[in-house]
A and B are shown apart, each in its own frame.
Chain A
Amino acid sequence: MTYIPKPRIDLPTDRINAIGLRQRDYEGVLSTLCAGCGHDSITAAIVQAFWELAIEPHQVAKLSGIGCSSKTPAYFISGAHGFNSVHGRMPSVATGALAGNRDLTCIAVSGDGDSLSIGFGQFGHVVRRNLNMLYIIENNGVYGLTKGQFSASADPGSKAKKGQVNQMQAIDPVATAIALGGSFAARGFSGDRDQLVPLIKAGVRHRGCAVIDVVSPCVTFNDHEGSTKSYAYTRKMSHKAVEADLVPPAEEITVSYADGDAVRVRLHDGSTVLLRKNDPAYDPTDRSTALQYLEKHRARGEVVTGLMFLDETLPEMHDVFGTTSAPLAETGYEALVPGKEALAKLQKKMR
């Protein structure tokens, strides 16, 4: 199997990116989450990814629902407008925001409670709509903010802190997104930033709804022995299926791969996602094999990670609607109002 060495990411924090910004320019206010909470590591990965992508902070719209996870947009990109919405309903706000201004780079953070219980409907529909956004689910198997109740992503057999064992089936957001016709579905682990940062970058650049489920242990309520969302369990049972790298348009891909080892997917902005597979039989561009693969490994108790499915050809919401390329919010009133004469003419038919 061919292998390209990962870029070293221990960049000095005062280095500037392509638009002259430092990593700290992508940070937000100080986190108030528990020390060691997985969500904070994801925040750090987001900061790094956006810095590397050199996106203008004011071009970013960051949204969330309600939960510990949903607090995190306050902790990154303080130069971006943020919208901490109501529980489970961030996807609709994102839909409206992008309906009004399609030029915004939209990143949304949600939790497993936020997206898989109260917001399961909105999650499903934003995937179906293929809204051009990055949708991160910080998945800890519990409701952190309301003190540790099981969430819908808790695995059967997983044990709560106080000992009860979950007996209901788990909802897997990755499999769900693929099954719902999603265009981008990935899973990461908050404890593996090397893997997560490229996933986030690919998700931002993907044109459509990029869902990234990130296993993100709740150190306070769900990091004990017997939990399937703990650091220890995830490390042990993690199965990396595909590594993804985002190659910007300018950079040629020079390394060659043996057939079956890598898949390249060209994104709309000209960059390429390079999918390096650990299992040659796996095809992340085929919906049904992706689902089969997930199911096979789930049955073994494994946590499959990587960019599990990608289809760059699906139309995003505005393609379907035929909306103008200029953001509606920036369209001048003169181009919107029919005027007095048109009204008079229209009313001739109402007699």
Chain B
Amino acid sequence: MPDQPSASATQSRINDFVLKIGTVNGTGSASANGLLMKALFRMGVPVTGKNLFPSNIQGLPTWYEIRANRDGYMAREGRVDVMVAMNAQTYGKDLAEVTPGGFFIYDSTWPREKTLSRDDVTVLGVPLAKLCNEHFSVARVRILMKNIAYVGVLCALLDIDRAIVKQLLEETFAAKPKLVDSNLEAINLGWDYAQANFTCPLPVRAEAMGDNSKHILIDGNSAAALGCVFAGATVGAWYPITPSTSLMDGFQGYCEKFRKDPDTGENRFCIVQAEDELAAAGMVLGANWVGARAFTPTSGPGISLMSEFIGFAYYAEIPSVFFDVQRVGPSTGMPTRTQQCDVLLCAYASHGDTRHPLLLPADPRECFEFAVAAFDLADRLQTPVFVLSDLDIGMNDWMIPELEWDDRYRPDRGKLVGPKELADMEKFFRYLDRDGDGIAARTLPGQDAKGAYFVRGSGHNRYGGYTEDSAEYQDVVDRLMVKWRTAAGLVPAAKLRPADQPTRVGIIAYGSSDGAVNEALDRLNEEGLGLDYLRIRAFPFGEEVRAFLDSHDTVFVVEQNRDAQLRSLLLVELGASNEQLVPLLHYNGMPIPSRCVEDAVRAHLDEEVAA
């Protein structure tokens, strides 16, 4: 028997392991990986999946990392317990990555190079290609089924419930029962081989636990798209760009489902694939100008192109919603890798004195909620609002508590005056702040000539007229700062997770770093290192952020970019001190692992003690 695993080589890890699968993109491995992930989910095991893929359509290495964790930790951990190496090109790299005591599964149809062995890793060969070639006759089917066959192997080795896998296949292929049969045959090929040749299950394995029925698996882009539908957005304009494309695909899909006029079949939505991002931004402004809720999903390069219109919307005060699903920059960078690198770009996008509210969702649930909030804020504040998610949140499947909706919700359209209100006014002036909150009332085209005004990006006074008068110009931009302060009280407040004991050491993070920070804090806490944690959820910063800085001597600022961009905002906007804010940065393009946070905090605090 080849490579018999020895149970003693590793400690047992039940519902606490990382499974990584290396394949070649374009071979259909996504469905196999999704199947594994969902099967674990249905067994009640908390699970997340990270797709680490190339910017290419076919033929390059791609990995899928599944973390099953009974405590519900969702971040990457930084270890690999079981590696399935389906891609001969990356065998060496994949083997090197396995944590000592782990397992390495490969396709043994072809001889493996001698150099590829490790004493501290159990290597298991399964002749997957051979099994599938003998069993299936069509070439394309053989390739696809090879992937399904490793699902069978893993069911045996990790004790994943085959009945659940069968059920999932039946649901997926409800319309094509024949496919259920061939997929099950492939599952059994792998399963039977593993049972006959290895001691199953491995000490690293799954076990049915709790109940996940109040949770869902969803990616952030789909959740944000749903948020747009529920917010009542009707116009979407976009230019395709990874990793934001699936947001508009999602919006289109949900609109097809929910927004067809039941009588006529006509669309209660309008999606325009623009000629570029400059145009997409213009379309969003045009639609919001006439009173339709409109948005555009994009990524960094798109924001760069949209910048002139963003400044226009800021100055002319046009509500607009921009989703920036961040990817690795600068320039084209690494389009299929994740970063939080557009914080400064979006905060001050466009020339001149401009500043924009940013919403920073930490997971798909907040993508949904913040999408709705973004439209309300944009209408209320009459300004561009950014939702900054990233590739990790946007494109990976996250396990989150079910999305909730309150049917009493009604959009906050802000200060809109129509013919009725206009009738009571002697004259309408577009930029007159009557309430002292920096927000003037607006009118919509097509309603009443009395409310007509001329939107312009050129100098204008509080009445909406063109001006080159210094005082009149300054009057308007100063009011915009009053509005900015109003915004600070309206955006989602930061969330505090206090340490068990009072401490002067704090940690700040935002967006997709949240999972890694929470897990790291638990670990540090076990060692007696307690930190207060403030998760920032928006810019401009509310009073709670200032209070947090005031009450801590050392504050780690966790970010997934090189330049500590949010830290810069804290320094500039709140006058925090350089020494107080310790940057904790991870920017290699992979989602930040909890270990990175944990190690950096420990190292810094040790150093401080030593100093």
Contacts and interface: CB of A to CB of B under 8 A. Distances in A.
A328 interface: yes
A335 B268 contact: yes
Given A57-B449, A57-B452, A95 B215 contact: no
B232 A58 contact: no
B553 interface: no
A79 B449 contact: yes
B294 to A, nearest CB: 6
A47 to B, nearest CB: 15
Given A89-B279, A322-B266, A331-B268, A100 B457 contact: no
B283 interface: yes
Contact of B291 (A78, A100, A324): A100
B312 A85 contact: yes
A74 B265 CA distance: 40
A16 B287 CA distance: 33
Interface in A302-351: 317-318, 321-325, 327-331, 333, 335-340, 342-344, 346-347, 350-351
A104 interface: yes
A343 B212 CA distance: 17
Contact of B446 (A85, A103, A335): A103
A338 B230 contact: yes
A201 B256 CA distance: 37
B268 A336 contact: yes
A347 B403 contact: yes
A324 B264 contact: yes
A233 interface: no
Interface residues of A, number: 63
B455 A83 contact: yes
- The range of chain B's interface size is 35 or more
B292 A89 contact: no
A82 B460 CA distance: 14
Nearest to A79: B449
B410 A333 contact: yes
Nearest to B216: A350
Contact of B292 (A83, A101, A322, A346): A101
A84 interface: yes
A318 B266 CA distance: 10
A329 B290 contact: yes
Contacts of B517: none
Contacts of B285: 85, 93, 96
Interface stretch (B190-198, B270-278, B601-609): B270-278
B269 interface: yes
Residue of A92, A101, A104, A333 with most chain B CB atoms under a 10 A cut-off: A92
B445 A81 contact: yes
14 contacts: A61-B290, A83-B455, A85-B455, A95-B279, A96-B284, A97-B287, A97-B289, A125-B275, A323-B267, A336-B268, A338-B258, A339-B405, A343-B404, A351-B217
Interface of A: 56-59, 61, 63, 73-74, 78-86, 89-101, 103-104, 121-122, 124-125, 129, 317-318, 321-325, 327-331, 333, 335-340, 342-344, 346-347, 350-351
Interface of B: 38, 41-42, 212-213, 215-218, 226, 229-230, 232, 234-235, 237, 254, 257-259, 261, 264-272, 274-276, 278-292, 294, 308-309, 312, 402-407, 409-411, 443-449, 451-458, 466
The list of the 5 closest CB pairs from A to B, nearest first, reads A96-B286, A92-B282, A100-B292, A79-B449, A96-B283
